[in-house]
Amino acid sequence: MAMALTTSSSLFISKYSPSSSSPSPRTTPFLGFSLSASTNKPSLQSNRLFYICCQDKSSAIPAEQQWMFDDLTGPDVWNKTWYPKAKDHIPTSKTWYIVDASDKILGRLASTIAIHIRGKNLATYTPSVDMGAHVIVVNAEKVAISGKKRTQKLYRRHSGTPGGMKVETFDQLQKRIPERIIEHAVRGMLPKGRLGRSLFTHLKVYTGPDHPHEAQQPKELPIRDKRITKQT
Amino acid sequence: MNKKEVFKLAKGFRGRAKNCIRIARERVEKALQYSYRDRRNKKRDMRSLWIQRINAGTRQHGVNYGNFMHGLMKENIQLNRKVLSEISMHEPYSFKALVDVSHSAFPGNKAAAAPKKEGLAVLL
């Protein structure tokens, strides 16, 4: 029933528009053709002309203007906000970045890494989907820190049982497990939740200059922070 | 609402909330309240997502979101944030042109304030 109405209205348009374009000055601002065809008809059908939904687009646009509206068959790209499909974030085709942590300020480095892992530097950023890249950090034990934090910054952990808090300084942790310092910093800057935990697995930290990811052909991580290297 | 309508709305709920009427009725009421609230929140969240995407897109060209929008307002370009975010994703060259237009209209505040440090430059 609805299809029959729209096809009949389109027939009327193609029949009346060439002849009645000159005498009648009443043209619609949107479609640019005259309304004289629809004044004879009940108001229900004239309302149908302006209501363009995705399926009826081809019938409501006049024949001479159809070249302006291309690709009426596919999804509406311009009116619906883009959401990534599975092929837009295939794990095997993610970019890999490498960064050397020697003499870089800890927090500023961690912030840049977290932005790239989360994907916030990309225009296709989506908060619910992992659109980010992988980051490899080498020379983790040489990361720099300003002020007296080397002896004063405390790393705490709690085992869960009463009196089970363990505290160690930055220096002690760096001697024991140097990778954990950068991991702790970046984990605090990633979102907490299921997606955040899986993003954290995209960070690879190594002591020393070697890493086992040569096959991924990592690129240099672009750092825009001017104050990230330690000023002597 | 009678029980049949409640159970129809409770499809997909966890545990007893989809099977037992006393629990389902509470959960369905809450779900309808959330959907009322979130129809209004969705508009805010979408705009926030567009702004984040535009920010990421402009920062790739060295301009941040605030300066970009200020430049567009100065040039009276009335494209809304939804369309700007779609352009930044699907039409990168057109978006670069927009960033250039905005940058020429408003290069940023630091460009104007930089020469003031003449006197302090002795200390650096």
The pLDDT tens digits of the residues spanning B49-63 come to: 999 999 999 999 999
pLDDT, greater one: B72 or A231: B72
Among chain B residues, the shortest Cα distance to A126 is held by B49
Interface residue A78 vs chain B (CB under 8 A): yes
**Mean pLDDT, to the nearest integer, of A95-104?**
95
Distance between CA A111 and CA A108 in Å, rounded? 5
What is Dmax (Cα atoms) for chain B? 81
Q: How much of chain A, in percent, has pLDDT values that exceed 90?
A: 63
> Is the predicted pLDDT of residue A23 greater than 50, yes or no?
no
Residues of A with CB below 8 A from B53's CB? 123-125
Q: Which residue reads 């840049």 in tokens?
A: A112
Tell me, yes or no, if the pTM score tops 0.90: no
Among A56-60, A194-198, A207-211, which stretch is predicted with the lowest mean pLDDT?
A56-60
Among A86-90, A187-191, B116-120, which stretch is predicted with the lowest mean pLDDT?
B116-120
Distance between CA A78 and CA B84 in Å, rounded? 10
> Is the predicted pLDDT of residue B74 greater than 90, yes or no?
yes
pLDDT-based confidence at residue A69 (cuts at 50, 70, 90): confident
Separation of CA B104 from chain center: 25
pLDDT mean across residues, chain A:
81
Interface residue B50 vs chain A (CB under 8 A): yes
Fill in the amino acid letter for A81.
Answer: T
**Mean pLDDT, to the nearest integer, of B80-88?**
94
**Mean pLDDT, to the nearest integer, of A194-215?**
96
Tokens of A183: 């991991």
Residue range B14-26, pLDDT digits in tens: 999 999 999 999 9
Residues of A with CB below 8 A from B92's CB? 123
Separation of CA A119 from chain center: 6
Q: Which residue reads 């004239």 in tokens?
A: A46
Q: How much of chain B, in percent, has pLDDT values that exceed 70?
A: 89
pLDDT-based confidence at residue A210 (cuts at 50, 70, 90): very high
Short-list B79, B74, B31, B76, CA closest to B54: B79
**Mean pLDDT, to the nearest integer, of A43-70?**
59
Contact B56 A123 (CB under 8 A): yes
Short-list A189, A216, A186, CA closest to A203: A186
- Name the phi and psi angles at A75, rounded to 5: -70, 155
Tokens of A202: 């995209």
